[in-house]
Structure formats: C-alpha cells, structure tokens
Structure 1
Amino acid sequence: MAAEGAGVTVSVDDSALDAAAAPLLDKLLVDGVASKLTAQDPTLWGADAEPEAAIRLAWTTLHKTSRPLIGEIEALRAELRSEGIDRVVLAGMGGSSLAPEVITGTEGVALTVLDTTDPGQVADALAGDLDRTVLVVSSKSGGTVETDSHRRVFARAFTEAGIDAARRIVVVTDPGSPLAELAEAEGYRRVFLADPNVGGRYSALTAFGLVPAGLAGADVARLLDQAAVVADVLAADSADNPALRLAAALGAAHDAGAEKVVLADTGSGIAGFGDWAEQLIAESTGKQGTGLLPVVVEGPDAPGFADAGTDAVPVVIGPSAPGAKLSTRGPLGAQFLLWEYATAIAGRLLAINPFDQPDVEAAKQAARSLLDDPAGLGGGAEPATVVGAVQVYASAGTSGNGGLADILREFLDTVPADGYLAVQAYLDRLDDASAALLRPELAKLTGVQTTFGWGPRFLHSTGQYHKGGHQNGVFLQLTGGVEEDLDVPDRPYTLGSLQLAQALGDGQVLTDRGRPVLRLHLTDRAAGLAELVRAVQELAS
C-alpha cells in the first residue's frame, strides 16, 4: 500500500510487511506521534531521552527558519565570485559533509569535500587552484579533529601562497563553540551560526547543509521549497502520512528480525542519497544492542538486495524494483524531511533515543591515546604474516596463517548467522576508489549483508551502530602505506599518523567488545588491492 502527499510517496510493496506494520501504524496514530513530533514534544522517546530530545527537535521547522540564510549565502557567493573565488572546498565530517555532497551532486555543481585524514586525498585538494579557493570549515562541536586539521593545513597553504588565509575561510558552527571563538579571534571572513537545537545528522536544511552547497552554486532555496511542500503532510496524524507508514514498516521489519535496511537507487535523480541516509539511520537507531543497519548497495541488481534474506528489508529510492519491499519517491528536500521524520519515529518504536550517539566517543578516545603514544601506532605487534604487499593483523579468533585467501576464508567464517560484514577502508576514496568493488564481491561470496565505508568518514556514521547496535558484525579493516605525509601545523602528529590512529583505535574498541577484526595493511596500495582482489576471486572459484 502507498501513502502519498505533496509530491512524496512511500510504498509498502510487500503485503506481509504491510500487514505487520498496520498495528504499529494504528498505535502511532492513536498516540498522535506525527503532530507531537512537529510540535517538538520531547517526551515521545521516554523520560531518559527527554533532556536530549528537548534540544534536538528544531529540524521539524527548518523549511521556515532557514529562509533568512538564502539571501546571506547568495550575497557571500556573489562577493566571492567578484574576487575570482569560485572553487569551494568543504572541511567537514558526518552531518557537516554528507548533506552538502548529496545536494551538490544532485544539482551537478562542483564541491570538493574533505571528510578524510588521508594525506594523499588532502594533498590533491591542496593542489587545486588556491587563488580561486574558499575553504568552508564546518563543525557543530567546533572541535572535530579531522576538520581542525584541514583548517590548519589550508591556512598554512594559503599563507605560503601569499594569500590572506582569514579572507579565504568561512565557518559554519554552533554558537559559542571553540570554532566560533577561534573564527572571531582570527577574523575569518564569515561565520554562519547554525541552530544549536538540531543534531548533526538532522542538519541537512540548516547552515551545515545549505552554506557550502549554496556557495558552490546549488539552488538551496528550491530545497527548502521542496521540504515546505511536504511539511504539513508529514505533520498530520493520518494513515496517509508517508513518514508514519515508512517508520511503521521499518519497525515491523525489525520486530520480525530484519534489522538491516538495504538501500538502492532506481533512478531517483538524487546523487548519493544512500550515503546521507546511512548516517541518519545508523547513528540514530544503533544503540543499546538494537537498531537498523543501513546497507548501501550499488543498485537493485546488486548482491544483498533482491537476494536479501529474512534479516534485511530491501528499500529503493525511486521507482519500485523486483525484490523491493519498500520504496520512497520525491524531490531531495522532501526526502530529507521524510527520512528524518521516519527515523525519529522508528526510534520510538525501537524504544531508543534517536538523538544521542553514546558509543561514538570511545573510538575517538582510543585514537587520541594512540596519538599520545606513537609507539602504539605500530599496531602493538608484528603482523601475523606478510603476503606480498599485504601485512596481516588478526584479532582473536583468526590465526592469520596461510595465504591471503586462506586468511580471508577463516575470517569470513566468523560471521554469525544473520550477521554482517563491514569493510572499512582507511584509504584515499578517490585514488583508491577500486577498494569499493570489494563490497559486492564479498557480499556475493559470503551471502551475508556487507557494508562498505571509507575511514574515518564512517566513524561519524555507521561507527555508532558497529559498537552500539546488534552485536553480530565482523570487521575487515584496510589501511595503507603513505608515500608523502602531511604535517598538521602546531600539532604533534601528521595526517598519516592520525589516519592510522583512527583505524587502530576503532579496531581496538571493536575487539574489546568481542567483535572479530582483521586488518590488512597495504604497504603498496595498488599492489595490495590487486592481491586482495585476487584472493577474493580465488575464494569464489
């Protein structure tokens, strides 16, 4: 059955799922959840969640409250372009980077996104025309280590090129953050203060989403228009409310054991929506040993979609496709608001607080400890074995013995029934893009749901679910040698050491929680990836 309104549609294409969702939908209607959420009622998720929810619900009215930003963004863009500055680089992580990347990708305008600590990828961004470049430094907390490192590296590069760095840096942050204070002290060109009552993953229609996208040339006013058109429909306590129907279906699927949400695009016209939805769903729901794990796949024909088992519900963005149980259609601004409503409501059905991220800090603390103790960056031990350009570091449960195919086979055998495999590539997502091909190959080989994430980008997304959600994942980490590292000015570490510390820190936390982790360190990235692909092919033959 479909729920449609104001240009956005949710279809439940599986009759059994539709029937299972019906009582949940009825309960949501009786409780008046949609209207209460729109009225920013913080009691919807229970007493424990109320203090956090009370300062995290302003996203329901952003289609109105973000309107004044449009003129400010347009004025700054015109000012920059009059000075020959038309290249926008965004330094941001998670909620500060994913929405702008989707917006600009959909609009077909150029935005260089830095959500990495890989020195090669950052060096490539530096190699662009600095004379034409403005850096948008975007961080809600104002203390994000990756973003602060990017700011320092670019400020030095601007200065060394004879450019006034302060005139080339624009800041987006919350009022009173350390970054806001620094921007004022340094005299940065412009500071946009975002609404502090919106969490990062719900911030697509705040300054975090709109400023970098708008400066790059996206029509962000149209984005707000699209959200405004659907807002009243999503606020209604009606069986035709698409957000209620989507949340009820996701909740019913989870109750039946389908804790994974497989996302495929079927020609929606939206570029990379799954990557944005991945953070929203995983970080909002993956906690207290429960949650919905988003699995972003290459398309409806990809392994893990049409052949999904009972532990997963296949969802398409765009027209329905064979194997899909759910589909959502609508323009980008409407889809942003639809999925935010549905995810927050699904949190109520799962009896969790969708606005906190209690397990994210653990990996950050572990990484900081490693940076404070550089000896630990050697991995803490010698590799279990070396196969060509691949050094093998195995956690308990995997011996690391034999050839690379043997090691992979032993590791993949640790995936529990109805578990999942997470491939985590702490590499350059441009130059090492071929690593992403491992996801469908491993999914086809193992028959289990398989995710792929670029590190440390995924730490601000699925990283919460890995540690707080269903504890049935196993983790394949890929790290790589660094040919030319980059110092972080006025910090005792390089980007390369920070990247490795993030990988090792996250691996340590996962291992401490009893999850299998296999780290493959590619001393030569191209050669190591080639050897890894050959090993996967050997297993498949």
Structure 2
Amino acid sequence: MGDLLAGPADVAAGLAVHGADAVDRSAPASVRDALAGRDVPARLAAGDPGLWGPAVEEEATTRLGWLDTHRRSRELLPQLAELAAELEDLDHVVLAGMGGSSLAAETITRTLGRPLTVLDTTDPGRVRAALADRLERTVVVVASKSGTTVETDSHRRAYWQAFLDAGMTEAEAARHFVVVTDPGSPLEATADEMGVVVLPADPQVGGRYAALTAFGLVPAALAGVEVTELLDDAEAVSAALGGDRDNPGLALGAALAAAATTGRDKVALVPDGTGLDGLGDWIEQLLAESTGKAGLGVLPVVVESPQAPGATGPDVLTVSHGGALTAGDVPGGGCEPDLAVNGPLGAQFLTWEYATAVAAVVLGVDPFDQPDVAASKDNTRRILESGPPAQAPSSTEGAIEVYAPPGTPADLTGALRHLVDGVGDAGYLAVTAYLDRVDDAAAAQLRPLLARAAGRPVTFGWGPRYLHSTGQYHKGGPPVGSYLQLTGAVHVDLPVPGRPYSFGELQAAQAAGDRQALADRGRPVLRLHLTDRSAGLAQLLDAIGRWRA
C-alpha cells in the first residue's frame, strides 16, 4: 500500500488512478515517458489511426468512434425518453445480446440497482425460464452489432414464437421488441420485416468499445436508468485524455503495458466494495479481446472480493476498481493493490477504453480485431450440420462423466490433479461452464477453490458468453492456458423456431466447437459432463475441497 499512496494519483473529472507511477518505475525505462515522447496521448485523443502501425490503420480508421461517441449518443436521448414512455407498461426488460452488446448494460443496471434480465446463454433451461417470466409485460431488446449473432437470433425467434403462442397478433408481438444494430445489418432488415422499432448503433465503434452507444444506453434507459449522467461523466473526463499529465487514461494504459512487458501479464480485477457491480466482467472482455492475439496479451482475472484467492502473484498486477472514494478512504477495499481506479461509471468506461488502446500501442497488437473468435463459430456450424463427434467418457464417477485428454489419468481426481499440476509458473487455468448461470450458479465457486488449490490465476466464464469475451485470448493469446470445461445434461430441450436444431443442440455444439478450437492450438482441455447438474456440481466441489484440504 506504501507505493500506492506514496506517489501522486492521476485525477481528472472525479476519476482517480492510484499507483501508476510506481508500476511505471518498475520497468527498465518509463513507458509513460516513451508514450508521451511519441505524442501518443494527443494523437489518440485526436483519433490518429496510425498509432498501431500501417497494417492496422485501415481498420482503425473506422473503429475510433468510441473516443467521442458519448457526444453523438446524446442524439438518442429524446428518442429514448419517448420510447420509455410508450412502453411504460412493459416493465420487464430482457436484453438478448452477447459480449459487447450486453456487458455494459448489465454493469450499468447492476450498479444503479435497476432490474434487467440479460439473456446471453443457449442453455434451454435458462431460455425457458426467461420466456416464462412475465411474458405479457416483457420488452425484448435484441442487440447485435453484426446482426448475425446466432445466440441472439435464436433468442429473437424464441420470443417471437412465445408472443404468438400467447395469442398476440404479429403487430401486438412487434410492440414487445426493440432492436439495436448497425445500420444496414441483416438484423435491421429482419426488424423491418417484423415491424419493430430499430435504434441504430454507432457504426464507427466496435462492440467491446460500445458501452456509451445504443448498446449500453437503450436497455439501461428502458430499465429506468438516467443515462445522461453516464454521458456527462465521460464528457468530463475526455478533456484530460489528450495530455501527458493529469491523464488517468494514459496513466492506466502505461501501467498495464509496463507490467505486461516486465512479466506481470495477468491483471486481477478486484471490486473494492464502493459500487460499480459487474465492471470487472466488462473490463475482462475489453482487455482480453483487445490484447489477446498473436501470442501476446493481458489476461484479466475477475475475482469476487478483495479477500478472494487469485488476486496476487509474481506475474499478477492487482487492480482494484470502484466508485469515488470518500475523504480518508484507503484505495483497495481491504487488499493491497498495485493500482486502484476509482470514479464514476461513465468516466470508467471511457478511461478503460483509452487505456486499453494505449497498452495495445506498447504491446504491438491491433486492439480492434478478434482474429481467433471465428474458429469456434466455424466449428459450431459444422457440428450443427453434421452432428457432434462420437466420444466415450474415459470414466464415470457418480454424476460426472470424465473426458480426459489422451495420455492423462482417466479418473476424476487424477484428471483434475493432472490438469492443475500442469499449469506452469507462467500459466493459468480457465474454467468454462456451459450451464445455467442461475440454476447452476454453484459452478462459479470453482474459481476461488481452484485458485487456492493451484496457486495460479484461475478465470471463470459462462458458456457461450465467454466466447464473446475471453474466448479470443484463450486461442490467440500466450499459449500457457489449461482449460476445464463443464457441460450438463439437458433433460427438457427447447426448439429454436425456424431452425433445424434445438437450444440444447446449439449449446452442445458450441461447447464441442470451442474444445476443438482449443485442441487445434495444442491447449489442454479436460471436459467434465454432469449427468445430474446439481449432484454433479456438489460432487465436484467436494472432490476439489477434499483433494486440497
């Protein structure tokens, strides 16, 4: 904590970054000074697409709109107010969107205590539960930048059919939808055919940088959030982002890069208890998908609390985050972070976006593409067309079928030990769960349990949600990851209307497709299939607890 408080904080518009100078000094030469010497702060604030090299320049030209989208987004405010008034009787807001189309809105509503149902799963049980919840009072925000996201299209189809099955006419059903997508996308054409409201996204902003566009603002506004304040906070901090000093975005980005280039390329994201619930999940996608490519990258590790295991380590940069601190508060919420980032949510969004783009300059990666995401999608499509590959479990113990990689122990405890013990000094373990994140929420307890057992960074992601977040890093980042995939039996499936597959089949194909993509890159994957989800999770948690007790 001494280093954190010894140096001056970088503060602008109520957002403070503590500890950046100390992290920068840990590098052989100041990363911050080098960036300032290249005039990076002013060039980025001005939207210079050449910052990441000539190979990136063409794409960056159309992806830097996030720098001032908070200004253009004000044009949405009158329409949002009018729409919220028109749909006042539809007080159950469902957001069907993946990754950058849903994470910001979820963060906003969780932070401000407004109800929002986020549907970012293909688990048939969770989809069925959403469809059964206050259907007549539901407005569905269908959000997809490309307009081709298979999960979101499936959700749209399921809700449309549910409204018709409830006795609504097509015109009545159309009133229950709002679409957010890029102008000219296939989803916009579909929405026109359905006769539903379309609110255009900012085409100059990529999904994970879209927090302050229609993707973040529309569902939040319909859920009752006063979104103007978010734009005001971003506007206030934006004035500082062109300077070499008193620039929290530069301080944060330089510190992330300095740590990553000196052996601390895992970033533990620690909520400090001062609000901003869910911000870590949003930062996770931003950092992982923007930097995890070409064998490089910063691995974000979202931990549950300042006391949770896995927040520290020789190759870990510990970063706490939260709302503004009151006088006399010590940053970190009880842990001793290397960095502490505190301030209003709108300013956090813009500052982290800026910092990620700055870190990418130093790392030498394109912060706007996601070259390895397509691998899992392509595999999923092939599996849906031809069926899943036949595979027999290596062993079955209670409610768990073990699918161990060749050459590893076949039993549950042996396979787990082999996977965890194989995580090297520079490695990490990723737990990915193709389950119901409400009914099977106990699966998330595996992250801290395994982090304590392994003594290494452990991440947790719900499938297929993580495919649109850390999935890029898993396949394109440093090849040091090990993977534990959980799947579960589906006893009551749900068809996807108008498609030759069900949600259960889609979920299974996505899990198999990602396993194949990881295996193709030489990543070790242990799959555990729960024939009874509740019993299997209890059995697994007990096994790991007894193993490392």
TM-score (norm 2): 0.95
Alpha carbons 2:429, 2:481 under 8 Å: kept:
yes
Partner of 2:530: 522
Pair 1:248-2:258 in alignment: no
Residue 291 of structure 1, aligned match among 282, 297, 300: 297
Whole-angstrom CA distance in 2 between matches of 1:157 and 1:386:
38
SS of the counterpart of 2:55?
A: coil
Q: 2:399 aligns with which of 377, 382, 389?
A: 389
C-alpha change, 1:258 and 1:396, in structure 2 (3 Å) is: farther
> How many angstroms does 1:300 deviate by?
1.4
User: Contact conserved, 2:23 with 2:255, CA < 8 A, in 1?
Assistant: no
Deviation for aligned residue 1:14: 7.7
1:258 to 264, 283, 287: 264
Pair 1:276-2:282 in alignment: yes
Map of 2:3 onto structure 1: none
Given candidates 133, 140, 149, the residue that maps to 1:144 is 149
Contact kept in structure 1, 2:433 and 2:462, CA below 8 Å: yes
Matched to 1:218, the amino acid is V
Q: Is the contact made by 2:13 and 2:233 (CA closer than 8 Å) also made in structure 1?
A: no
Q: Determine if contact 2:404/2:415 at 8 Å carries over to the other structure.
A: no
**What is the aligned partner in structure 2 of residue 316 from structure 1?**
320
Query: Which position in structure 2 is the counterpart of 1:172?
Result: 180
The answer to whether the Cα contact below 8 Å between 1:480 and 1:522 also exists between their aligned partners in 2 is: yes
1:325 corresponds to which of 318, 338, 347: 338
Kindly provide the CA deviation profile for residues 311-352 of structure 1, in whole angstroms up to 9, marking residues without a partner as x.
110100032343310110100000000000000110001000
Which secondary structure does the structure 2 equivalent of 1:268 belong to? Answer: coil
Whole-Å separation in 1 of the counterparts to 2:93 and 2:454? 41
Helix, strand or coil at the partner of 2:11: strand
Give the CA RMSD over aligned residues: 1.3
Other structure's SS at 1:88 match:
strand
Residues 12-411 of structure 1 mapped to structure 2, 5 A cutoff: 12=19, 15=22, 17-20=24-27, 23-81=30-88, 84-163=89-168, 164-188=172-196, 190-234=197-241, 236-305=242-311, 308-318=312-322, 319-320=331-332, 321-374=334-387, 376=388, 379-400=389-410, 402=411, 404-411=412-419
Q: Which amino acid aligns with 1:87?
A: H
Farther off after superposition, 331-340 or 410-419: 410-419
Q: Percent identity?
A: 57
Q: Which whole-Å deviations, capped at 9, do the CAs of 1:255-295 have from their partners, x for residues lacking one?
A: 11111100001123111100000000000000000000000
- Distance, in Å, in 2 between the alignment partners of 1:428 and 1:461 is 18
- The one-letter code of the counterpart of 1:143 is T
Paired AA for residue 495 in structure 1: F
What secondary structure, in the 3-state scheme, does the structure 2 residue paired with 1:36 have? helix
d(CA) in 2 for partners of 1:206, 1:22: 37
SS for the counterpart of 2:450 is: helix
- Kindly indicate whether the alpha-carbon contact (under 8 Å) linking 2:20 and 2:252 is maintained by their aligned counterparts in 1: no
Residue of structure 1 in register with 2:447 after alignment: 439
Of 451, 457, 464 in structure 2, the residue corresponding to residue 449 of structure 1 is 457
How far apart, CA to CA, are the structure 2 residues paired with 1:31 and 1:237? 12
Q: Amino acid of the residue matched to residue 225 of structure 1?
A: D
404, 428, 431: which one aligns with 1:423? 431
What's the CA shift string for 1:14-71, capped at 9, x where partnerless? 8364442862111111222122112211100001111111110001001211001111
TM-score (norm 1): 0.96
Return the letter of the residue paired with 1:439: R
Please, which of 474, 479, 482 is the counterpart of residue 474 of structure 1?
A: 482
Deviations 1:344-381 (A, max 9, x none): 1100010000000000000000011110012x2xx531
For residues 537 and 391 of structure 1, do their structure 2 counterparts lie closer, same or farther at Cα, with a shift above 3 Å needed?
same
Structure 1: give runs of 5+ residues left out of the alignment. none
Matched, 1:484 2:492: yes
2 CA distance for matches of 1:323 and 1:14?
A: 16
1:397·1:516 contact (CA, 8 Å) conserved in 2?
no
Aligned length: 530
Structure 2 residues without counterparts, runs of 5 or longer: 1-6, 323-330
The CA distance in 1 between the partners of 2:231 and 2:533, in whole Å, is 42
Name the amino acid aligned to 1:153: A
| 1:540 is aligned to 2:548 | yes
Q: What residue is the counterpart of 1:458 in the other structure?
A: 466
Q: Is the 8 A contact 1:411 1:518 kept in 2?
A: yes
- Give the letter aligned to residue 7 of structure 1: G
Amino acid at match of 2:374: E
AA matched with 1:264: V
| Structure 1 contact 414–516 (Cα < 8 Å) conserved | no
Q: Is the 8 A contact 2:90 2:139 kept in 1?
A: yes
Distance 2:63 2:46 in 1: 12
- Whichever residue aligns with residue 364 of structure 1, its letter is K
Deviation digits for residues 222-274 of structure 1, max 9, x if unmatched? Answer: 1101111111012x222221111111111111111111100001123111100
Asked if the contact 1:88/1:111 (under 8 Å) is kept, the reply is yes
Structure-1 separation of matches of 2:451 and 2:133: 37
Distance 1:14 1:399, change over 3 A: farther
Is contact 1:367–1:504 with CA below 8 Å preserved after alignment? yes
The 1-side partners of 2:222 and 2:92 are apart by 9
* CA offset digits 1:69-108 (Å, max 9, x no partner): 1111111010011xx2111111000000100000011111
Deviations 1:139-165 (A, max 9, x none): 000000000000000000000112222
Aligned partner of 2:328 in structure 1 is none
Q: Distance in 2 between matches of 1:14 and 1:39?
A: 25
Distance 1:238 1:48 in 2: 26
Tell me, yes or no, if the aligned pair for 2:142 and 2:152 is still in contact at 8 Å. Answer: yes
